[in-house]
Amino acid sequence: MLTKVQTPPSLETLVLTIQQGDKQLHNEMIQQYKPFIAKVVSAVCKRYISEADDEFSIGLIAFNEAIENYTIQKGRSLLAFAELIIKRRVIDYIRKEKRNQTLLYNRIENEGFIQGKVERDISLSNYKRQSETSYIQEEMTYFCQALKLFKLTLEDIINTSPKHKDARGNAVEVASFIVNEKELKDKLFLKRQLPIRLIEKHVKVSRKTIERNRKYIIAMVIILAGDYVYLKDYIM
C-alpha cells in the first residue's frame, strides 16, 4: 500500500504559526531568508549589500515587520508583501539620511564654507519626486498582481469605473464597509467573490448598483485593505 506523501506547509501557513508564538520557527525563517532580504535591499540601493551594512539591518527589521503583519487579506504572497515593505523602509531610510546630509550642508553653508543651496534644493526635490514615482510604480505592480487573484486586470477596472463622482463615492463607501466587516472581507479574499447578498443588507446602495460596480468595488477593497499608501490618496 502506497503511503500518501504529505505536502509541506506553505510559507503563508508557517507565518500564521509564527504569529501564534512559535519563536524558534520565527528565528529559522529570518535566517533562511537573509539572502532574499539582501537581494531586495541591494536592488533598492543599486549596489551590493552585506549583513554589515546599515541598509541590511533596515531590511531585516522590515522583513520581521512583514511576518508580524501579514494576513491573507493583503492579497499577495508573503514574499511579495515583504518585498514591498522592505523597499519602502529602505527608501525611507535613504530619504532620512539625505535630509540629515542637507541639514549638515546648511549648517556648513551658514558658516560660510560652501555655496549652492538652490542647486541642492532642486536636487533633493527631484530625488523626492523620483522616489514617489518609484513608490507608485511598485504599488501598481502589486495591485495588478492582487487583481489577478480575482481574474481581473487594470484595464477591467478602468473600463468599469463609475463615470460619475457620486457613483464612485458610493462604491468606495461600500468597499470601506466591507473592509471594516471581518466576515465580509474574509469571504471576499477567501472565495474571490463579492458577497453581494450579505452586503446589500447593510448598505443603502441597491443590489443592482453593487452588481454593476462589482469589479470596481473589489479593486477598492484591495486598495483599502492593503498597504497602498499612494493609491489610497487617489481614491480617498
CA distance 20 to 15: 9
User: Do residues 137 and 205 both lie within one domain?
Assistant: no
Please give the mean pLDDT across all residues of the chain. 80
pLDDT at 3 over 80: no
Structure confidence at residue 217 (pLDDT)? 93
Q: Label residue 1 by pLDDT band (50, 70, 90).
A: very low
Please identify, among 149, 183, 216, the residue that sits at the C-terminal boundary of a domain: 149
pLDDT band with cut points at 50, 70 and 90 for residue 236 = low
Q: Are residues 136 and 174 in the same domain?
A: no
Q: What is the mean pLDDT of residues 94-122?
A: 55
pTM over 0.75: no
Domain ends where: 122, 149, 176? 149
* Domain match, 145 and 158 both: no
Does residue 133 or residue 36 have the better pLDDT? 36
Task: Read off the C-alpha cell for 36.
Answer: 532574499
Rounded to a whole number of angstroms, the distance between the first and last alpha carbons of the chain is 60
Q: Indicate if 127 and 181 belong to the same structural domain.
A: no
203: in domain: yes
Which pLDDT value is given to residue 43? 85
pLDDT at position 36 is: 92
For residue 226, what are the domain limits?
154-235
In a domain, 166, yes or no: yes
Residues 137 and 158 reside in one and the same domain: no
Looking at the structure of the chain, the number of domains it has is: 2
Q: What percent of the chain has pLDDT over 70?
A: 77
Tell me, yes or no, whether 188 and 226 share the same domain.
yes
- For 58-90, how does the pLDDT look when each residue is reduced to its tens digit (9 = 90+)? 999 999 999 988 887 666 688 888 888 998 889
- pLDDT, one tens digit per residue, over 173-222 is 999 999 888 888 888 888 888 888 888 888 888 889 899 999 999 999 98
2 domain-assigned: no
Residue 159 lies in a domain: yes
Question: Which CATH number covers residue 75?
Answer: 1.10.1740.10
